[in-house]
Amino acid sequence: MKLNGSEIVIECLKEQGVDTVFGYPGGTILNIYDALYKHSDEIRHILTSHEQGAAHAADGYARSTGKVGVCLATSGPGATNLVTGIATAYMDSVPLVAITANVAVPLLGRDSFQEIDIAGVTMPITKHNFIVKDIAMLAETIRKAFEIAQSGRPGPVLVDITKDVTAATMKYTPAVPKKIERKTDEIKESDIEKAIKLINQSKKPFILVGGGAVISGAAEEVTEFAHKIHSPVTDTLMGKGAFSGEDELYTGMLGMHGTKTANFGVTECDLLIAIGARFSDRVTGNAKKFAYNAKILQIDVDPAEINKNVLVDASITGDVKEILAKLNIRIEQHNREEWVGHIMELKEKYPLKYNPEILTGPYVIEELYRITDGDAVITTEVGQHQMWSAQYYKYKKPRTLITSGGLGTMGYGLGACIGTKIANPDKIVVNIAGDGCFRMNMNEIATATRYNIPIIQIVLNNHVLGMVRQWQTLFYEKRYSATVLNDSVDFVKLAEAMGAEGIKVTKKEEVEPAIRKAISLNKPVVIECVIDSDDKVWPMVPAGAAIEESFNEDDLKNRK
């Protein structure tokens, strides 16, 4: 059948099983939106308040499901408004296809109205990108974009289509999407054997679970592996839920705001097994002093990550789930009671603590965990609230913490929350934000109310940029440069003005009723919780220090 380019785009999206797209229309992409209008019963379009919100919503949709998220934008500023969202997805290996339209081919390179080389702009932050100037290449390119986004280590792909291509016509031939195979061709028997030998020889192993374990769908294999080798487990921010936070072997998160138990345990271990983790600086602290007593075994799908940030003693390259399945079959059952017992003593000695007398971020998050029985999906912005969400909500399953780790994007969470809720309509989905982050993209509350998407937005309002202020307090002699937000913004009224329910919480006893009401209302709700400006995230590792130099408020007082 003969179709125009815009209709081919829609048919290709349907081929790929796309049921929802997020975007914002404009002149050059109007033909695609016209075609989308005709297929609105097959593909749902969510009009966000800003293109960045569309990118983050597509990202949240993808992270919470494992499917490819799709966002649309017009040329020029529409396309550039996607850039932060694309970079966020790139840093955290999220499968995303961003479709933009550009000016017609004769107008390219002439500084035409709303023209920009978006392929050039996004080259460093995409897994691959394309500009389609010939309709004959359109269907093949879109199919290739979805394949690239999902295969191996996932990531975002941009497809820029000139406006004349969206209007041109040609014969369209349907195709069945190529099956995405797990990456197993690089798994070497010699690497498996070396890993088994290291594990069998180890007296004090420690497992570090990263985002690759979540992406691979390896939670079951990780759990079996940990219990089979009888090893304590820590995780990265991206690895949350791949190993249950309620498991007896779990020690908390590793790194700058990780638990002392995890940081000290990794420093003491004789074998660190990194599963789908890239050794970010926030995890390792001073890389030269990281796990210096241990041999390191790294398991990762991307060979470029091996020896990139930390030199390792052994590695296995390939899909994490497949590798662990092979190891679990061949590894003998171990019993390391003395080592595990020592780590459990550290857990008892160094629990996470906060002031129980006043309303705090950790208290709100613990209450949320208790009320939802740990079964909600949590999205976050970036800052203190993000770290508290990682520390105090116990993630039992993968894809239940949706957060920007690599790029650390303030303004990410609300859009991601909308995308996550659309993908998971039967789950409670809560975005946790600080007041600074919430201000950045709070206009997306209007998106939630427009479509009656029943998300819960918790704003931990300390009237400051909390994480930056924490650094200013500890390392800049309390010079609070540009971090005080002590103004008259009323988030409850703002929520109500956009059609949501607004609830203000100022005391501990108001937290539970507010959360239960928000769940029961089945509509967008903003809960503003007013907390102290000087609450801090503990423990903490100073920048550039070894993770064993982790300190908390008690340590700080003792030093003084």
- Tens digits of per-residue pLDDT, 117-139? 999 999 999 999 999 999 999 99
**268 burial type by CB count under 10 A (0-12 exposed, 13-18 middle, 19+ buried):** middle
Helix (H) or strand (E) holding 504: strand 501-505
**430 burial type by CB count under 10 A (0-12 exposed, 13-18 middle, 19+ buried):** buried
Cα 30 to Cα 9, 153, 162, 527, distances in angstroms: 13, 33, 12, 38
The Cα–Cα gap between 469 and 127 comes to: 35
So what's the pLDDT on residue 45? 98
* Phi/psi of residue 83, nearest 5 degrees: -60, -45
Residue 146 is encoded by which pair of tokens? 């979805």
CB 459 within 8 A of CB 62: no
Q: Among residues 521, 499, 496, which one has the least CA distance to residue 428?
A: 521
So what's the pLDDT on residue 1? 86
Question: For the domain 361-540, what is the CATH superfamily, name and number?
Answer: Thiamin diphosphate (ThDP)-binding fold, Pyr/PP domains (3.40.50.970)
Domain 189-349, CATH among 3.40.50.300, 3.30.70.980, 3.40.309.10, 3.40.50.1220: 3.40.50.1220
The Cα–Cα gap between 243 and 220 comes to: 8
pLDDT in tens, 257-302: 999 999 999 999 999 999 999 999 999 999 999 999 999 999 999 9
Give me the chain's average pLDDT, please.
Answer: 97
Catalytic residues: 51, 113-114, 163, 467
pLDDT at 185 > cutoff 90: no
The Cα–Cα gap between 390 and 260 comes to: 15
* Phi/psi of residue 148, nearest 5 degrees: -65, -40
The Cα–Cα gap between 328 and 313 comes to: 21
pLDDT in tens, 103-117: 999 999 999 999 999
So what's the pLDDT on residue 22? 99
Of the ranges 178-187, 357-366, 384-393, 503-512, which one carries the lowest mean pLDDT score? 178-187
Cα 493 to Cα 486, 514, 528, distances in angstroms: 17, 16, 11
Confidence of residue 393 (pLDDT cuts 50, 70, 90): very high
pLDDT at 502 > cutoff 90: yes
Query: Per-residue pLDDT averaged across 408-418, rounded?
Result: 98
DSSP 523-539: S-EEEEEE--TT---SS
Cα 385 to Cα 26, 237, 299, 373, 540, distances in angstroms: 36, 13, 30, 20, 14
Q: Among residues 81, 51, 83, 86, which one has the least CA distance to residue 69?
A: 86
Query: If you ran DSSP here, which 8-state letter would residue 540 be given?
Result: B
Query: Per-residue pLDDT averaged across 462-485, rounded?
Result: 97
Planar angle of CA 12, 17, 19, nearest 5 degrees: 100
pLDDT at 183 > cutoff 90: no
Planar angle of CA 75, 81, 86, nearest 5 degrees: 105
CB 454 within 8 A of CB 519: no
pLDDT in tens, 203-234: 999 999 999 999 999 999 999 999 999 999 99
So what's the pLDDT on residue 329? 98
Q: Coil, strand or helix: which one is 274?
A: strand
So what's the pLDDT on residue 204? 98
**Residue appearing with tokens 């009323």:** 490
Strands 96-102 and 69-73 come out as parallel
So what's the pLDDT on residue 180? 93
Equal fold, 189-349 vs 361-540: yes
**428 burial type by CB count under 10 A (0-12 exposed, 13-18 middle, 19+ buried):** buried
Q: Among residues 124, 130, 128, which one has the least CA distance to residue 101?
A: 130
The Cα–Cα gap between 510 and 505 comes to: 6
Confidence of residue 511 (pLDDT cuts 50, 70, 90): very high
Domain 2-171, CATH among 3.30.2040.10, 3.40.250.10, 3.40.50.970, 3.30.465.10: 3.40.50.970
Torsion of CA 305, 307, 313, 318, to 10 degrees: 20
The Cα–Cα gap between 546 and 554 comes to: 19
Q: Among residues 211, 269, 240, which one has the least CA distance to residue 92?
A: 211
Confidence of residue 426 (pLDDT cuts 50, 70, 90): very high
Residue of 229 and 178 predicted with greater confidence: 229
What type of residue is 314?
Answer: A
Is there a cis peptide before residue 539, judged by omega within 30 degrees of 0?
yes
Residue 348 is encoded by which pair of tokens? 């008892």
The Cα–Cα gap between 491 and 501 comes to: 11
Sign, CA dihedral 337-342-343-347, equals: positive
Helix (H) or strand (E) holding 250: strand 250-253
pLDDT in tens, 138-169: 999 999 999 999 999 999 999 999 999 999 99
So what's the pLDDT on residue 497? 98
pLDDT at 550 > cutoff 80: yes
**Residue appearing with tokens 């690759």:** 212
Domain segments of the chain as ranges: 2-171, 189-349, 361-540
DSSP 397-438: STT-EE---SS--TT-HHHHHHHHHHH-TTS-EEEEEEHHHH
Query: If you ran DSSP here, which 8-state letter would residue 542 be given?
Result: -
Strands 429-434 and 456-461 come out as parallel
> Which region, left, alpha or beta, applies to residue 279 given φ > 0 means left and ψ of -120 to 50 means alpha?
left
Q: What's the residue count for the chain?
A: 560
The Cα–Cα gap between 77 and 518 comes to: 36
Q: How many CB atoms lie within 10 A of CB 201?
A: 11
